[in-house]
């Protein structure tokens, strides 16, 4: 599963393509792709932070003792 770094790279690539695109009809398409990838990056970062906040099985077992 791609991580936040991958999605941010993709967003940068699509934004660059939109900036350099000479076909006016395609610019909104690439901007939308960039925005969607950025949103995926934010969701991946949030999921990662949430997973890091949850105690691991080892920590749960140690707390039970």
Average pLDDT over residues 47-54: 82
3-state secondary structure of 65: coil
| Total-model pTM | 0.75
Signed CA dihedral, 16, 17, 23, 26: sign only: negative
Q: For residue 38, name the pLDDT band (cuts at 50, 70, 90).
A: very high
- H or E element at residue 40: helix 27-53
Has residue 61 got a pLDDT over 80? Answer: no
């Amino acid at each position: 599963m791609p991580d936040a770094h991958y999605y941010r790279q993709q967003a940068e690539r699509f934004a660059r393509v939109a900036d350099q695109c000479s076909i006016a009809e395609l610019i909104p398409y690439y901007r939308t792709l960039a925005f969607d990838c950025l949103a995926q990056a934010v969701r991946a970062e949030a999921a990662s932070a949430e997973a890091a906040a949850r105690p691991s099985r080892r920590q749960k077992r140690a707390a039970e003792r």
